[in-house]
Chain A
Amino acid sequence: MEPDRLLANLRKGVVEPCVLAVLRTREMYGVDLARELVGLGLLASEGSLYPLLARLRAAGLVSTRWEESPSGPPRRYYRLTPEGTETVHRFIATWRPFAGAVSTILEGTE
Chain B
Amino acid sequence: MTAAPEDPAVRRYLATLDRLLDGSPERALVVDGVAQHITDALADGPADAHRVRTVLDELGDPAAIAAEAGAPAARPAPRFLERRSGAVWTVLLLTVGNVVAPFVAWLVGLGFLWFSRGWTVLDKIVATVLPALLAAVLVLASGLLASNGGGFGHLALLAGLVLGAVASAVLLLVRFREPASVPPVQ
Contact = CB atoms under 8 A, between A and B. Distances in A.
Interface of A: 8, 29-31, 34, 38, 44-55, 57-58, 69, 71-73, 75-76
Interface residues of B, number: 25
Contacts of B26: 51, 54-55, 58
Given A8-B186, A45-B58, A47-B59, A34 B37 contact: yes
Interface in B109-129: none
A38 to B, nearest CB: 8
Interface of B: 2, 25-26, 29-30, 33-34, 36-37, 39-41, 43-44, 58-62, 64-65, 68-70, 186
A58 B59 contact: no
16 contacts: A30-B33, A30-B36, A34-B37, A45-B59, A45-B64, A46-B37, A47-B59, A47-B62, A47-B64, A49-B33, A51-B70, A53-B29, A54-B30, A58-B26, A72-B43, A73-B40
Given A31-B40, A50-B65, A57 B29 contact: yes
B22 to A, nearest CB: 14
A51 B2 CA distance: 17
